[in-house]
Amino acid sequence: MESSLLRSKKDKIITGVCGGIAEHFKIDPIVIRVVFVVLILLVIFSQLF
């Protein structure tokens, strides 16, 4: 059975969502956070122009 996506219990910056995704894919949470911030900025700037 595959594991499901869950919020991280140990890596709880902003409720542990990015930490939970990182645990699921077995990568560093910093990578997920940077990707998340870049995507948010792209969405914000695409709405301005």
Q: At what angle do helices 17-25 and 29-48 cross, to 10 degrees?
A: 120
Start-to-end CA distance of the chain, whole Å, equals 45
pTM of the complete model: 0.72
Instruction: Say if CB 34 and CB 24 are below 8 A apart.
Output: no
Determine the Cα–Cα distance for residues 49 and 33; give it in Å rounded to an integer. 25
pLDDT in tens, 31-40: 999 999 999 9
Percentage of residues of the chain with pLDDT beyond 90: 39
Sequence ranges of the domains in the chain: 13-48
Give the pLDDT confidence score for residue 1 in this predicted structure: 47
Average pLDDT over residues 10-34: 85
Q: What is the pLDDT of residue 18?
A: 86
Mean pLDDT, residues 15-33: 88
